[in-house]
């Protein structure tokens, strides 16, 4: 009997041990799941910077606009950059209107993510910032001292289908991206408004990291950037090579990890860096952002989605000009907005848009021996 009792006690002990192991494994699994959820819901490294900028009185809305067929004036709308990047914001607006967008654009450049990129780029962050001075620009009426609001100085140009196709054809023929083509002519359009018209012009160019970085939703901030400096004598091909050289060096990864490192900074430190214009890897005249090609097959047919779409990145005191482009259903649009510290007059970005389009027309005509076809809308 004693033997049977000992066996029973031993079996009970083994059962208890197995039960404890199951509980331990379950607890460990729940803990890891909780960790996973917490890491996914953790504030992204970009949003905090925009929250601080907003505290400093900046307007952090990304500008979008839709021009319905037959209309002249766009319907403007804004999404906060603390919640979305440009691609994510545009996808959010289209989805709210019924569009089916199962997968957003992914980063295709092969440069690998590595924290070493940041270490190699530290010297660039520590270099003195060289600013460009603007020439005589119409300042426009002063804005009220009310809380931050969208910039008043904004202008756009909407190409039609035929003109967009011609621009694409020219870029393919010259083996350059539409991005490089547009940046070259944007820079040339803005130069006459600088004090030193032969100066090297620095731009911030956002880079979409989708496909390489994980977020809790596909419309969140996936944006890093590269800094590109455009010389007056450079061709479209030169600028194209510069952009891809910056990507090849992994500058977008260096800047991404710099954002992440910013998580160690206090709000006060971030405020100081933004005010001193040291929050970026270089001082920039402005940002130039291209959201790419959307719905070229024209599968989106919802009435609230149809028409021409416009986009411009936010402007800040440290980055006074925001130029954006997006191609929706083979209609390319250009939009420029200007920070009120530079001007509140729409005549200024309107002049830049007109000069930008003129430079594009000249380049297209020089390659195709024919002017841009069709009609378009400028405002």
d(CA 151, CA 166): 32
**Of the given ranges (33-47, 49-63, 351-365), which has the lowest mean pLDDT?**
33-47
pLDDT at 148: 77
More confident residue, 16 or 90: 90
**Of the given ranges (16-20, 31-35, 341-345), which has the lowest mean pLDDT?**
31-35
b (16+ CB within 10 A) / e for 25-62: eeeeeeeeeeeeeeeeeeebbbbbbbbbbbeeebbbbb
Q: How many domains does the chain have?
A: 1
d(CA 228, CA 186): 13
Q: Is residue 25 part of a domain?
A: no
pLDDT at 157: 97
Q: What is the mean pLDDT of residues 94-119?
A: 94
- Give residue 26's pLDDT band: very low, low, confident or very high (50, 70, 90): very low
pLDDT at 258: 93
Q: Is residue 286 part of a domain?
A: yes
Q: Which residues lie closer than 8 Å to 161 by C-beta, 6 or more apart?
A: 330, 331, 374
**What is the percent of the chain where pLDDT is above 70?**
85
d(CA 216, CA 47): 14
User: Is the pLDDT score of 219 beyond 60?
Assistant: yes
User: Is the pLDDT score of 1 beyond 80?
Assistant: no
Candidates 20, 294, 6, 344; CA nearest to 155 is: 344
Candidates 307, 314, 354; CA nearest to 155 is: 354
Domain that holds residue 88: 43-99+153-378
d(CA 124, CA 126): 5
Q: Is residue 60 part of a domain?
A: yes
Q: Is residue 301 part of a domain?
A: yes
CATH number of the domain where residue 276 is located? 3.30.559.30
Q: Is residue 27 part of a domain?
A: no
Q: Is residue 266 part of a domain?
A: yes
Q: Is residue 358 part of a domain?
A: yes
Q: What is the mean pLDDT of residues 46-61?
A: 94
**What is the percent of the chain where pLDDT is above 90?**
74
pLDDT at 38: 33
Mean pLDDT of the residues in the chain? 87
SS3 string, 320-343, reads CEEEEEEEECCEEEEEEEECCCCC
Q: Is residue 314 part of a domain?
A: yes
């Amino acid at each position: 009997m004693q033997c049977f009792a000992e066996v029973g006690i031993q079996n009970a002990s083994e059962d208890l041990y197995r039960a404890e192991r199951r509980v331990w494994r379950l607890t460990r699994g729940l803990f890891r799941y909780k960790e996973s959820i917490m890491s996914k819901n953790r504030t992204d490294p970009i949003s905090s910077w925009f929250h601080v900028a907003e505290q400093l009185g900046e307007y952090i809305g990304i500008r979008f606009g839709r021009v319905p067929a037959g209309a002249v004036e766009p319907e403007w709308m804004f999404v906060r950059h603390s919640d979305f990047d440009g691609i994510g914001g545009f996808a959010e607006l289209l989805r709210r209107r019924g569009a089916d967008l199962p997968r957003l654009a992914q980063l295709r450049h092969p440069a690998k993510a590595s924290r070493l990129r940041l270490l190699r780029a530290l010297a660039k962050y520590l270099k003195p910032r060289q600013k460009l001075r603007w020439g005589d620009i119409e300042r426009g009426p002063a804005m009220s001292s009310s809380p931050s609001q969208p910039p008043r100085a904004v202008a756009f140009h909407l190409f039609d289908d035929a003109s967009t196709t011609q621009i694409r054809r020219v870029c393919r023929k010259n083996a350059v991206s539409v991005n490089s083509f547009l940046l070259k002519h944007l820079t040339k359009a803005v130069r006459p408004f600088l004090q030193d018209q032969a100066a090297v012009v620095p731009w911030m160019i956002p880079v979409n990291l989708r496909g390489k970085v994980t977020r809790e939703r596909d419309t969140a901030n996936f944006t890093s950037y590269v800094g590109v400096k455009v010389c007056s004598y450079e061709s479209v091909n030169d600028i194209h090579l510069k952009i891809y050289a910056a990507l090849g060096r992994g500058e977008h990864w260096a800047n991404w990890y710099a954002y992440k490192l910013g998580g160690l900074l206090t709000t006060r430190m971030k405020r100081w860096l933004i005010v001193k214009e040291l929050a970026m890897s270089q001082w920039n005249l402005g940002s130039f952002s291209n959201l790419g090609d959307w719905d070229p097959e024209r599968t989106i047919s919802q009435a609230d989605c149809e028409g021409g779409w416009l986009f411009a990145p936010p402007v800040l005191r440290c980055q006074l000009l925001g130029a954006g482009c997006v191609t929706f259903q083979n209609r390319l649009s250009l939009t420029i907005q200007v920070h009120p510290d530079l001007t509140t007059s729409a005549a200024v970005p309107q002049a830049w848009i007109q000069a930008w389009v003129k430079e594009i027309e000249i380049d297209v005509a020089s390659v195709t021996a024919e002017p841009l076809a069709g009609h378009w809308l400028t405002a």
